[in-house]
Amino acid sequence: MAERPAAVLLVLAPSGQRSRVALDSMPFSIGRQSGNSLVLRDNRTSRNHCRIVFENGSYAIEDLNSRHGTFVNGKQISRHVLHNSDRIEFGVRDSYQLTFSAEQQDIQRLLGQFGSVVASAGEASGAGNLIKLRSLVEVARAVAPRPKVLLLDEPSAGLNEAESRKLGETLAQFVAASGTTIMLVEHHIELVSSICAFVYVLEFGQLIAAGTPAAVRSSEAVQEAYLGRRHNVPSA
Protein backbone atom coordinates (compact mmCIF):
# COMPACT_ATOMS: atom_id res chain seq x y z
CA MET A 1 0.00 0.00 0.00
CA ALA A 2 1.42 3.39 -1.05
CA GLU A 3 2.31 5.78 1.73
CA ARG A 4 -0.06 8.75 1.70
CA PRO A 5 1.87 12.04 1.39
CA ALA A 6 0.87 15.06 3.43
CA ALA A 7 -1.54 17.39 1.66
CA VAL A 8 -3.78 20.31 2.61
CA LEU A 9 -6.65 22.37 1.30
CA LEU A 10 -6.12 26.13 1.34
CA VAL A 11 -9.62 27.49 1.99
CA LEU A 12 -10.79 30.93 0.86
CA ALA A 13 -14.22 31.61 2.39
CA PRO A 14 -16.79 34.02 0.88
CA SER A 15 -15.92 36.48 3.67
CA GLY A 16 -12.31 36.58 2.48
CA GLN A 17 -11.06 34.63 5.49
CA ARG A 18 -8.30 32.17 4.69
CA SER A 19 -7.60 28.91 6.47
CA ARG A 20 -5.63 25.72 5.99
CA VAL A 21 -7.19 22.27 6.44
CA ALA A 22 -5.08 19.12 6.48
CA LEU A 23 -6.31 16.05 4.62
CA ASP A 24 -5.90 13.88 7.71
CA SER A 25 -8.40 11.11 6.96
CA MET A 26 -9.80 9.48 3.84
CA PRO A 27 -12.27 9.83 2.35
CA PHE A 28 -12.39 13.57 3.02
CA SER A 29 -15.98 14.75 2.60
CA ILE A 30 -17.00 18.30 1.63
CA GLY A 31 -20.48 19.85 1.83
CA ARG A 32 -22.80 22.04 3.85
CA GLN A 33 -24.10 19.26 6.12
CA SER A 34 -22.56 19.06 9.56
CA GLY A 35 -20.42 15.99 9.96
CA ASN A 36 -18.49 16.54 6.74
CA SER A 37 -14.72 16.76 7.00
CA LEU A 38 -15.02 20.30 5.63
CA VAL A 39 -18.34 22.09 6.21
CA LEU A 40 -19.23 24.74 3.62
CA ARG A 41 -21.43 27.41 5.21
CA ASP A 42 -23.15 28.32 1.96
CA ASN A 43 -26.75 27.14 1.41
CA ARG A 44 -26.21 27.01 -2.35
CA THR A 45 -23.78 24.10 -2.02
CA SER A 46 -25.09 20.55 -1.63
CA ARG A 47 -25.32 18.77 1.71
CA ASN A 48 -22.78 16.23 0.48
CA HIS A 49 -21.13 18.02 -2.40
CA CYS A 50 -17.94 16.10 -3.14
CA ARG A 51 -15.18 14.08 -1.54
CA ILE A 52 -11.44 13.57 -1.84
CA VAL A 53 -10.02 10.04 -1.88
CA PHE A 54 -6.53 8.60 -2.03
CA GLU A 55 -6.15 5.76 -4.52
CA ASN A 56 -3.25 4.27 -6.48
CA GLY A 57 -0.79 6.72 -4.97
CA SER A 58 -2.75 9.87 -5.88
CA TYR A 59 -5.40 12.15 -4.42
CA ALA A 60 -8.59 12.49 -6.47
CA ILE A 61 -11.77 14.52 -6.05
CA GLU A 62 -15.19 13.05 -6.86
CA ASP A 63 -18.45 14.92 -7.30
CA LEU A 64 -21.35 13.39 -5.32
CA ASN A 65 -24.18 14.33 -7.72
CA SER A 66 -24.14 17.87 -6.36
CA ARG A 67 -26.75 20.42 -7.43
CA HIS A 68 -24.39 22.91 -9.09
CA GLY A 69 -21.42 20.67 -9.80
CA THR A 70 -17.79 20.52 -8.74
CA PHE A 71 -15.22 22.43 -10.79
CA VAL A 72 -11.44 22.08 -10.94
CA ASN A 73 -9.50 24.89 -12.61
CA GLY A 74 -12.74 26.17 -14.14
CA LYS A 75 -13.90 22.85 -15.65
CA GLN A 76 -16.77 20.75 -14.29
CA ILE A 77 -15.67 17.26 -13.27
CA SER A 78 -17.15 14.02 -12.07
CA ARG A 79 -13.75 12.72 -10.98
CA HIS A 80 -10.35 14.36 -11.23
CA VAL A 81 -6.87 13.35 -10.10
CA LEU A 82 -5.58 16.30 -8.09
CA HIS A 83 -2.30 18.04 -8.79
CA ASN A 84 -0.47 20.66 -6.79
CA SER A 85 -2.22 24.08 -6.88
CA ASP A 86 -5.46 22.75 -8.43
CA ARG A 87 -8.33 25.18 -7.74
CA ILE A 88 -11.64 23.65 -6.58
CA GLU A 89 -14.97 25.54 -6.81
CA PHE A 90 -18.64 24.66 -6.31
CA GLY A 91 -20.58 26.02 -9.27
CA VAL A 92 -21.89 29.22 -7.67
CA ARG A 93 -20.50 32.74 -7.64
CA ASP A 94 -18.76 34.22 -4.59
CA SER A 95 -18.65 30.93 -2.73
CA TYR A 96 -15.77 28.94 -1.30
CA GLN A 97 -12.59 28.41 -3.26
CA LEU A 98 -10.21 25.62 -2.31
CA THR A 99 -6.65 25.09 -3.47
CA PHE A 100 -5.11 21.64 -3.24
CA SER A 101 -1.54 21.71 -1.95
CA ALA A 102 0.89 18.80 -1.85
CA GLU A 103 2.45 20.30 1.23
CA GLN A 104 6.16 19.57 1.01
CA GLN A 105 6.33 20.31 -2.72
CA ASP A 106 4.53 23.59 -2.21
CA ILE A 107 6.79 24.76 0.60
CA GLN A 108 9.92 23.94 -1.39
CA ARG A 109 8.55 25.78 -4.42
CA LEU A 110 7.76 28.87 -2.35
CA LEU A 111 11.17 28.87 -0.72
CA GLY A 112 12.58 28.72 -4.24
CA GLN A 113 10.53 31.80 -5.11
CA PHE A 114 12.10 33.67 -2.20
CA GLY A 115 15.46 32.70 -3.64
CA SER A 116 14.51 34.15 -7.03
CA VAL A 117 13.43 37.44 -5.44
CA VAL A 118 16.76 37.61 -3.60
CA ALA A 119 18.69 36.76 -6.75
CA SER A 120 16.96 39.47 -8.81
CA ALA A 121 17.72 42.06 -6.14
CA GLY A 122 21.38 41.06 -6.14
CA GLU A 123 21.89 41.48 -9.88
CA ALA A 124 22.43 45.23 -9.63
CA SER A 125 25.34 46.83 -7.80
CA GLY A 126 25.50 49.75 -5.41
CA ALA A 127 24.96 50.42 -1.71
CA GLY A 128 21.18 50.65 -2.09
CA ASN A 129 20.98 47.25 -3.73
CA LEU A 130 23.20 45.71 -1.06
CA ILE A 131 20.78 46.95 1.61
CA LYS A 132 17.88 45.57 -0.42
CA LEU A 133 19.60 42.21 -0.84
CA ARG A 134 20.38 41.95 2.88
CA SER A 135 16.75 42.70 3.76
CA LEU A 136 15.41 39.98 1.43
CA VAL A 137 17.95 37.45 2.66
CA GLU A 138 16.75 38.10 6.22
CA VAL A 139 13.13 37.48 5.14
CA ALA A 140 14.11 34.26 3.34
CA ARG A 141 15.98 33.02 6.41
CA ALA A 142 13.02 33.86 8.65
CA VAL A 143 10.46 31.86 6.63
CA ALA A 144 12.70 28.82 5.97
CA PRO A 145 11.98 27.06 9.33
CA ARG A 146 8.20 27.57 8.83
CA PRO A 147 7.56 29.25 12.20
CA LYS A 148 4.08 29.35 13.70
CA VAL A 149 4.27 33.13 14.14
CA LEU A 150 6.57 35.49 12.23
CA LEU A 151 7.08 39.23 12.87
CA LEU A 152 8.25 41.19 9.83
CA ASP A 153 9.26 44.84 10.24
CA GLU A 154 9.02 46.71 6.92
CA PRO A 155 10.29 43.88 4.67
CA SER A 156 9.68 46.01 1.56
CA ALA A 157 12.16 48.71 2.65
CA GLY A 158 14.27 49.67 -0.37
CA LEU A 159 12.26 47.59 -2.85
CA ASN A 160 10.71 49.04 -5.98
CA GLU A 161 7.03 48.46 -6.85
CA ALA A 162 7.61 45.31 -8.89
CA GLU A 163 9.82 43.77 -6.20
CA SER A 164 7.34 44.67 -3.45
CA ARG A 165 4.52 43.10 -5.47
CA LYS A 166 6.51 39.90 -5.97
CA LEU A 167 7.41 39.78 -2.27
CA GLY A 168 3.74 40.22 -1.32
CA GLU A 169 2.58 37.46 -3.68
CA THR A 170 5.21 35.06 -2.37
CA LEU A 171 4.49 35.82 1.30
CA ALA A 172 0.73 35.40 0.77
CA GLN A 173 1.26 32.00 -0.87
CA PHE A 174 3.67 30.98 1.87
CA VAL A 175 1.15 31.87 4.60
CA ALA A 176 -1.57 29.85 2.87
CA ALA A 177 0.66 26.82 2.35
CA SER A 178 2.49 26.77 5.68
CA GLY A 179 -0.15 28.01 8.14
CA THR A 180 2.32 30.59 9.49
CA THR A 181 0.77 33.69 11.05
CA ILE A 182 2.54 36.90 10.02
CA MET A 183 2.46 40.06 12.11
CA LEU A 184 3.50 42.75 9.64
CA VAL A 185 4.68 46.28 10.39
CA GLU A 186 4.65 48.05 7.05
CA HIS A 187 3.89 51.37 5.31
CA HIS A 188 3.48 49.89 1.82
CA ILE A 189 -0.31 49.71 1.51
CA GLU A 190 -0.42 47.36 -1.49
CA LEU A 191 1.85 44.89 0.29
CA VAL A 192 -0.27 45.03 3.45
CA SER A 193 -3.46 44.45 1.43
CA SER A 194 -2.00 41.43 -0.36
CA ILE A 195 -0.94 39.65 2.84
CA CYS A 196 -3.10 40.72 5.77
CA ALA A 197 -6.59 39.56 6.70
CA PHE A 198 -6.93 42.25 9.40
CA VAL A 199 -5.21 45.63 9.63
CA TYR A 200 -4.58 48.19 12.37
CA VAL A 201 -3.58 51.69 11.26
CA LEU A 202 -1.67 54.04 13.56
CA GLU A 203 -0.89 57.72 13.15
CA PHE A 204 1.57 59.24 15.63
CA GLY A 205 0.94 56.29 17.96
CA GLN A 206 -2.86 56.62 17.87
CA LEU A 207 -5.17 53.95 16.40
CA ILE A 208 -7.20 55.58 13.62
CA ALA A 209 -8.68 52.50 11.89
CA ALA A 210 -9.02 48.74 12.20
CA GLY A 211 -10.63 46.13 9.98
CA THR A 212 -10.20 44.25 6.73
CA PRO A 213 -7.86 45.77 4.12
CA ALA A 214 -10.86 46.90 2.04
CA ALA A 215 -12.53 48.58 5.04
CA VAL A 216 -9.33 50.29 6.14
CA ARG A 217 -8.52 51.59 2.65
CA SER A 218 -11.96 53.18 2.41
CA SER A 219 -11.59 54.89 5.81
CA GLU A 220 -11.59 58.67 5.51
CA ALA A 221 -9.05 58.96 8.32
CA VAL A 222 -6.64 56.56 6.56
CA GLN A 223 -7.04 58.30 3.22
CA GLU A 224 -6.28 61.65 4.79
CA ALA A 225 -3.32 60.40 6.82
CA TYR A 226 -1.63 58.08 4.32
CA LEU A 227 -3.16 58.47 0.87
CA GLY A 228 -4.41 62.03 0.60
CA ARG A 229 -8.08 62.98 0.36
CA ARG A 230 -7.96 63.32 -3.41
CA HIS A 231 -6.25 59.97 -3.97
CA ASN A 232 -8.42 57.56 -5.98
CA VAL A 233 -8.24 54.45 -3.83
CA PRO A 234 -9.07 51.19 -5.64
CA SER A 235 -10.91 48.49 -3.73
CA ALA A 236 -8.63 45.94 -2.07
Burial 72-104 (b: 16+ CB within 10 A, else e): beeeebeebebeebbebbbbeeebbbbbbbbbe
* pTM beyond 0.75: no
> Does position 158 have pLDDT exceeding 90, yes or no?
no
Query: Percentage of the chain surpassing pLDDT 70?
Result: 79
What's the whole-number mean pLDDT along residues 21-43? Answer: 95
pLDDT of residue 212 exceeding 60: yes
Q: Is the peptide bond before 155 cis (omega within 30 degrees of 0)?
A: no
Higher confidence at residue 67 or residue 223? Answer: 67
Residue 27 vs residue 181, higher pLDDT: 27
pLDDT top residue among 27 and 145: 27
Is the model more confident about 5 or about 114? 5
User: Residue 55's CB: how many other CB atoms inside 10 A?
Assistant: 11
The most confident of 53-62, 137-146, 170-179, 188-197, by mean pLDDT? 53-62
- Distance CA(216)–CA(207), nearest Å, equals 12
149: number of Cβ within 10 Å:
8
More confident residue, 135 or 220: 220
Torsion of Cα atoms, 178 then 117 then 83 then 98, to 10°: 50
Mean pLDDT value across residues 206-234: 79
Top-confidence residue, 120 or 47: 47
